[in-house]
Amino acid sequence: MSLHNQDPRENTDPPVESTGTHHRVSTKIIDDVFTDAVAMIKPRFEVDYKAYLIRLWEANGHIHRLLKDAPDLEAARDALFLYLERAERAIFDVENDLHILEKATLRECVRAFRSIIGPINEYRTGVSALEYLWKLAQNRRNDLPANISVGFLEEFINLFRGVSGKSHIYRETTEVRKGIPEFLLLEGKEAADARTKILDDMGSTVRKYMMKYPSGLLDEVVTWRDENRQRILDYFGGRNSDWYDYRWQLTHVIRDAKPLLDLIELTAEQQDAVEKAGGNRIPFGITPYYVSLMDRNLSIGYDHAVRAQVIPPPDYVDAMAQHRADRETVFDFMGEHDTSPVDLVTRRYPGIAILKPFNTCAQICVYCQRNWEIDQCLDPKALASQKAIDRALHWFDDHKSIGDILVTGGDPCIMKDRQLRSLLEKLAQRKHIYRIRIGTRTPVVLPMRWTDDLVELVGEFHEPGVREIAIVTHFEHPYEITPEALEAIKKIRTKGIGIYNQVVFTIENSRRFELAKLRLDLKSIGVDPYYTFNMKGKEETQRYMVPIARILQERKEEARLLPGLDRTDEPVFNVPKLGKNHLRAWQDHRLVMIRPDGRRVYEFHPWEKNMTAVPPYNYVDVPIYDYLEELAARGESIRDYRTIWYYY
């Protein structure tokens, strides 16, 4: 397929009007939830709240009357609790003709609503969404916080609909009632043909979306990258053989704005951010190979996720500069300082621990979990002292319940071969260690690091039945999957070593079927999807964050359409100090509040639940509405995401 003849970005999205570097949706109605698309086409300070308030009360006139007639807040609470109880009981009536799946949505909405209006959750979060709703119904706008947002109203427009069985998930104009689909009423080949047509339509939809996200294995993309490679080699005075020498790549890592400006087109914002990062000694670096994955011209636009990983946004640079002196505490979101029993070791689980012997990388990812401890790209002092490493290894001798070690950092594959061998030898001497995982991004950003010598070295320690070596990496987008990455993966797999991918779910890979396409492309080169990480709540990387509801929607409505082997990963939220929480498990988290700015507050229960009484953790998410606004600005059809509100 030619990208010129058939543009993978071509779809049926609504028309957009160019406004410089961004796009805004035209005045065409996006979805009935967005009424006249007010907030999508006007600056936020011009939002017509009256239009949204009308839609809020239209969504559920009964709730509006309850709130309006309540003499005080507690009366409103009692009336609403009673309404929710009756709404839930009504779905069990024999005469209730709502579809059973609409009833399931209603039950989830009732559960979420009860939680939101519960006094204990108001106390714990310091917010009362019920109070805001009551005052809105009483027309007491002057008594409300100034930041009551459209996002807040949208949350309750959908919640009001949901608790009355009118979510519109299954049909937008008329409600879905009791009944059996036609294909289930048929038999034999006739039934199979009817079902096949439905599945073919689904499959065609999946293919249409996936065409928007070409991989780096596509012939035309390979040609572009070949041209990029030659231009970069000419710039640095290198030869073709140099390109495949990882030492040449490391020698020519780009650490300031000038080479980037000379080699690719940057926006003014990107240029300013890179220059400011250098001036404030903020870690920054990109391998020549990874620069070759960037489109030379901004107008091409397939490389957005590639650029976003290494070119920091201004707010990130400002935050890092402001906290240069105290970033070790401010940016340690996971609380590693409090989960490190000895230097270089982090432990959150009974049988697993992290070992960090080397705290720098071939290039710096903007949303790195450990940006607080990396001083500079390819820091010459990155390797821990032998004394510190030995102390950490001796600690493992006293804690033999730990059998799985993740060697990470930093990137341990940037260590010299002899240094890595020494470390693996010492770990292998400890018989209770049955698995050594190596966390590295080199297959993505420096695949030529996987020389025959390195593959042989790592392979020596992979002894099935005795000890497993596993490679854990971070591909973020199909555009990163290249012939070079494929070659490195093939080499590793010839040793019987498994390779697993942990993807961070960000604004840059969260569009419809974008991550599903990544999973398919990963499996095609021999990498198993492993985890999908919800973005951390690190304030300096807010621009990248995606609502938890979107990761749940992606898993249900996109990943679920793939064969099982292509969707083997698990969506998780990393609870500070405690560890991974499986997002699909309702019993491990719950929605407890909607803040006036539209942010959801979730209560996460630790993985120890039902085993040990560990306190829960409250997390303030990014607003769904703001996320949808950003997607609209990027030309996405918001109708594609309309069910997002019903993922709690």
DSSP conformation letters of 132-164: HHHHHHTT-GGGS-TT--HHHHHHHHHHHHHTT
Token reading at 337: 């300082």
* pLDDT at residue 37, rounded to an integer: 35
Which residues, including other chains, have CB under 8 Å from residue 181's CB and lie 6 or more apart? none
pTM score over 0.75? yes
- Of 199 and 45, the structure prediction assigns the larger pLDDT to 199
Reported as a pLDDT band with limits 50, 70 and 90, residue 538 is low
User: Within a 10 A sphere around the Cβ of 434, how many other Cβ atoms?
Assistant: 15
Quote the strand ranges of 221-331, DSSP E: none
Q: How much of the chain, in percent, has pLDDT values that exceed 70?
A: 91
Angstrom distances, CA of residue 472 to CA of 340, 401, 451, 500, 503 = 21, 22, 18, 5, 10
Per-residue pLDDT of 255-292, as tens digits, reads 988 999 999 999 998 898 899 888 888 889 999 999 99
- Structure tokens given for 149: 């947002």
Q: Residues 507-531: pLDDT tens digits?
A: 999 999 999 999 999 999 999 999 9
User: Which element (helix H / strand E) includes 356?
Assistant: strand 352-358
What digits encode the pLDDT tens for the residues 407-449? 998 999 999 999 999 999 999 999 999 999 999 999 999 999 9
- In this prediction, residue 335 carries a pLDDT of 78
**Residue carrying structure tokens 């499986």:** 582
Rounded to the nearest 10 degrees, how much is the dihedral formed by the CA atoms of 245, 250, 254, 255?
180
d(CA 284, CA 274): 8
Which residues are CB-neighbours of 520 under 8 A, at least 6 positions away? 210, 562, 566
CA distance 183 to 202: 15
Tell me which of 66-70, 118-122, 184-188 is least confident: 184-188
329-578, CATH topology level: TIM Barrel (3.20.20)
Please name the helix (run of DSSP H) or strand (run of DSSP E) that holds residue 203, with its range, or none. Answer: helix 188-210
Cα 483 to Cα 479: distance, rounded to the nearest angstrom: 11
Q: Which bin fits 610, alpha (ψ -120 to 50), beta or left (φ > 0)?
A: left
Mean pLDDT value across residues 341-354: 95
So what's the pLDDT on residue 42? 41
Other beta carbons less than 10 A from residue 417's beta carbon: 14
* Position with higher pLDDT, 5 vs 577: 577
- The pairing of beta strand 468-473 with beta strand 435-439: parallel
Q: What is the mean pLDDT of the chain?
A: 89
Instruction: Specify the DSSP element, H or E, that contains 485.
Output: helix 483-493
Q: Rounded to an integer, what distance in angstroms lies between the CA atom of residue 212 and that of residue 518?
A: 12
pLDDT of residue 316: 85
Packing angle of the helix pair 150-162, 49-59 (nearest 10 deg): 10
521 neighbors 217 (Cβ within 8 angstroms): yes
Is the separation of the CB atoms in 646 and 610 below 8 Å?
no
CA separation for the pair 474, 444 (Å, rounded): 7
* Sequence-distant (≥ 6) Cβ neighbours of residue 3 within 8 angstroms: 214, 218, 220, 221
Write down the residue that tokens 């040609």 correspond to: 223
* Cα separation, 233 vs 121, whole angstroms: 59
Q: Within 10 Å of residue 388's Cβ, how many Cβ atoms?
A: 14
Angle between helix 624-633 and 548-557 (nearest 10)? 70
Residues 6 or more apart whose CB falls under 8 angstroms from that of 431 comprise: none
User: What are the beta bridge partners of residue 19?
Assistant: 22
Residue 204, SS3?
helix
Tokens of 26: 């035209």
The boundaries of every CATH 3.20.20.70 domain in the chain are 329-578
Question: If phi over 0 gives left and psi between -120 and 50 gives alpha, with beta otherwise, what is residue 301?
Answer: left
